């Protein structure tokens, strides 16, 4: 009997070993734009390679980037590269390890019934509604690169009513958001101009990690990135019904129609999948493209100068 008890105690802890807890924080509430991560979660892809993943939503009032810096989370979903570059310039030891959006979904929209039908026409918009953050980032690029007039800019307060009231106006937006809400309001989609198609060539939905995490937890980061790649492929091309139910559970305000619209736009505009990802895989980024964007934004005083732009990324987790 004693011999039997000894064997049981010896082997029980081994069979009960658990996966590693891992926290991923997004920069907004759950939505199809995060669908690949929720797909990998609902399909058990993270568990397969050893992670018990917890996704923490962002949203109004949250500051998940600060949680990354204070090591309260393990990885963070960044927006475009501007905030990452400026954080690094301030001495924060942070890097991007993958980029799941090959294009930033930032757009400018105009009225379908107005005269602003081309990118060049948008310079005649009066006014053009741009947020305070947009004013010092992408609109500064629009001014310097494309001769937009800052005198015509008015603050965008994330309310499209002023835009709708003036057919000669334009406003900023997000590819999967404002066009959808406006089309519901007026029965037709506005004209959409994706900044990425006109030279604002940054990656988005980046995955950011602290240098200490990159040094000490490589296997966990590789598991997270590899599982997320599978999740995104399955979300866009497989059965996403279970994932969309999970997204609706996390964000009760979202509807099936909005989910369908967002997924279609991600595909139509090549936000996740491009020729590069066909060759190198989803989540890929090019160091050359990062350096080019940095030089462009530095030229227009959008970002702060770095000693070495190569410090903001590592390619080790996006290799096939």
pLDDT in tens, 75-105: 999 989 999 999 999 999 999 999 999 999 9
Whether 20-102+202-312 and 106-198 share one fold: the answer is yes
Tokens of 312: 């903001």
**Between 2.40.480.10, 3.40.47.10, 3.40.190.10, 3.90.1150.10, what CATH number should domain 106-198 receive?**
3.40.190.10
**pTM, two decimal places:** 0.92
Domain residue limits, the chain: 20-102+202-312, 106-198
Burial 39-78, CB ≥16 within 10 A → b, else e: bbbbbebbeebebebebebbeeebebbebbbeeebbbbbb
Q: Which CATH number does 20-102+202-312 carry?
A: 3.40.190.10
Tokens of 284: 């890929």
Count of C-beta atoms within a 10 Å radius of residue 209 = 26
Give pLDDT tens digits along the chain (320 positions). Answer: 444 443 333 333 333 347 999 999 999 999 999 999 999 999 999 999 999 999 999 988 889 999 999 999 999 999 899 999 999 999 999 999 999 999 999 999 999 999 999 999 999 999 999 999 999 999 999 999 999 999 999 999 999 999 999 999 999 999 999 999 999 999 999 999 999 999 999 999 999 999 999 999 999 999 999 999 999 999 999 999 999 999 999 999 999 999 999 999 999 999 999 999 999 999 999 999 999 999 999 999 999 999 999 999 999 999 76
Share of the chain above pLDDT 90, in %: 91
């Amino acid at each position: 009997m004693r011999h039997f008890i000894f064997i049981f105690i010896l082997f029980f802890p081994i069979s009960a070993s658990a996966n590693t807890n891992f926290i991923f924080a997004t920069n907004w509430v759950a939505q199809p734009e995060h669908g690949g991560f929720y797909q990998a979660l609902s399909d058990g892809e993270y568990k397969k390679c050893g992670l018990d993943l917890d996704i923490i939503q962002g949203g109004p009032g949250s500051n998940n980037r600060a949680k990354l810096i204070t090591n309260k989370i393990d990885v963070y979903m960044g927006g475009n590269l501007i905030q990452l570059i400026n954080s690094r310039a301030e001495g924060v030891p942070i890097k991007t390890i993958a980029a799941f959006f090959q294009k930033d979904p930032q757009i400018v929209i105009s009225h379908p019934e107005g005269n602003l039908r081309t990118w060049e026409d948008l310079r005649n918009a009066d006014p053009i509604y741009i947020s305070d953050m947009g004013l010092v980032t992408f609109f500064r690029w629009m001014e310097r690169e494309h001769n937009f007039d800052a005198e015509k800019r008015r603050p965008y307060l994330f309310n499209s009513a002023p835009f709708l009231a003036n057919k000669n106006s334009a406003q900023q937006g997000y590819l999967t958001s404002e066009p959808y809400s406006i089309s519901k309001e007026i029965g037709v989609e506005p004209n959409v101009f994706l900044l990425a198609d006109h030279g604002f060539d940054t990656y988005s939905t980046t995955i950011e990690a602290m240098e200490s995490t990159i040094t000490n937890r490589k296997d966990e980061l590789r598991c997270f990135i590899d599982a997320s790649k599978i999740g995104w492929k399955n979300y866009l091309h497989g059965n996403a019904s279970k994932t969309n139910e999970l997204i609706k559970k996390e964000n009760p305000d979202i509807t099936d129609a909005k989910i369908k619209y967002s997924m279609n736009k991600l595909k139509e505009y090549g936000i996740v999948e491009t020729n590069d990802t066909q060759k190198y895989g989803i989540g890929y980024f090019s160091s050359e493209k990062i350096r080019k964007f940095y030089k462009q934004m530095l030229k227009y005083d959008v970002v702060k100068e770095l000693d070495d732009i190569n410090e903001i990324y590592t390619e080790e987790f996006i290799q096939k």
